[in-house]
Structure 1
Amino acid sequence: MRFQRLAIAATLAAATALAACTTTTPAGTNTNATVAQQRQAINDAASATLQRLYEQAPDSRAIVDRAHAVLVFPEVLSGAFVVGFEHGRGVLRVKGQPQGYYTSTGGSIGFQAGAQSKALVIAFTDAASYQKFRNSNGWTIGADATVAVASIGVNGSIDTQTANQPVVGFVLNNGGLMAGVSIDGTRIAPARNL
Structure 2
Amino acid sequence: MPISGLFRKIAAFSLVAAFIIIGSASVADAASKKKIDRRVAETMAEFREKYDGAQSLLDKSVGVLVFPSIKKAGIGIGGEYGEGALLVNGSAVGYYSTAAASIGLQLGGQVRSQVLLFMEEGALKNFRNSDKWEVGVDGSVAIATIGAGGSIDTTNLDAPIIAFIFGNKGLMYNLSLEGSKMSEIERN
Check whether TM > 0.5: yes
Residue of structure 2 in register with 1:132 after alignment = 126
Counterparts in 2 of 1:141-160, with a 5 A limit? 141-160=135-154
Residue of structure 2 in register with 1:11 after alignment = 14
Over residues 65-104 of structure 1, what are the superposed CA-to-partner deviations in whole Å (9 max), with x where a residue is unaligned?
2211100000111010000100011100101101001110
User: What's the secondary structure of 2:149's corresponding residue?
Assistant: coil
User: What's the secondary structure of 1:91's corresponding residue?
Assistant: strand
**Aligned-pair Cα RMSD in Å:** 3.0
Over residues 90-142 of structure 1, what are the superposed CA-to-partner deviations in whole Å (9 max), with x where a residue is unaligned?
10010110100111001111111111111111010111111111111111111
Residue of structure 1 in register with 2:33 after alignment = 39
Instruction: Sort the Cα spacing of 1:131 and 1:20 in 2 relative to 1 into closer, same or farther, 3 A.
Output: closer
Counterparts in 2 of 1:75-114, with a 5 A limit? 75-114=69-108
Once the 2 structures are TM-superposed, how far is the Cα of residue 64 of structure 1 from its aligned partner?
1.6
- 8 Å CA contact retained: 1:27, 1:41: no
- 8 Å CA contact retained: 2:39, 2:68: yes
Residue of structure 2 in register with 1:34 after alignment = none
**Following the alignment from structure 2 to structure 1, what is the Cα–Cα distance between the partners of residues 174 and 82?**
21
Q: Any gaps of 5 or more consecutive residues in structure 2?
A: none
User: What's the secondary structure of 2:156's corresponding residue?
Assistant: helix
Counterparts in 2 of 1:55-94, with a 5 A limit? 55-94=49-88
- 8 Å CA contact retained: 1:28, 1:42: no
Once the 2 structures are TM-superposed, how far is the Cα of residue 58 of structure 1 from its aligned partner?
2.2
Q: How many residues align?
A: 182
- 8 Å CA contact retained: 2:22, 2:80: no
- 8 Å CA contact retained: 2:72, 2:110: yes
Partner AA of 1:86 in structure 2:
E
Residue identity over aligned pairs, in percent, reads: 30
Instruction: Sort the Cα spacing of 1:163 and 1:192 in 2 relative to 1 into closer, same or farther, 3 A.
Output: same
Residue of structure 2 in register with 1:29 after alignment = 29
TM-score normalised by L of structure 1: 0.81
Segment of structure 1 superposing worse, 73-82 or 109-118: 109-118
**Following the alignment from structure 1 to structure 2, what is the Cα–Cα distance between the partners of residues 70 and 27?**
25
Instruction: Sort the Cα spacing of 1:62 and 1:28 in 2 relative to 1 into closer, same or farther, 3 A.
Output: farther
**Following the alignment from structure 1 to structure 2, what is the Cα–Cα distance between the partners of residues 184 and 105?**
11
- 8 Å CA contact retained: 2:11, 2:76: no
TM-score normalised by L of structure 2: 0.84
Residue of structure 2 in register with 1:33 after alignment = none
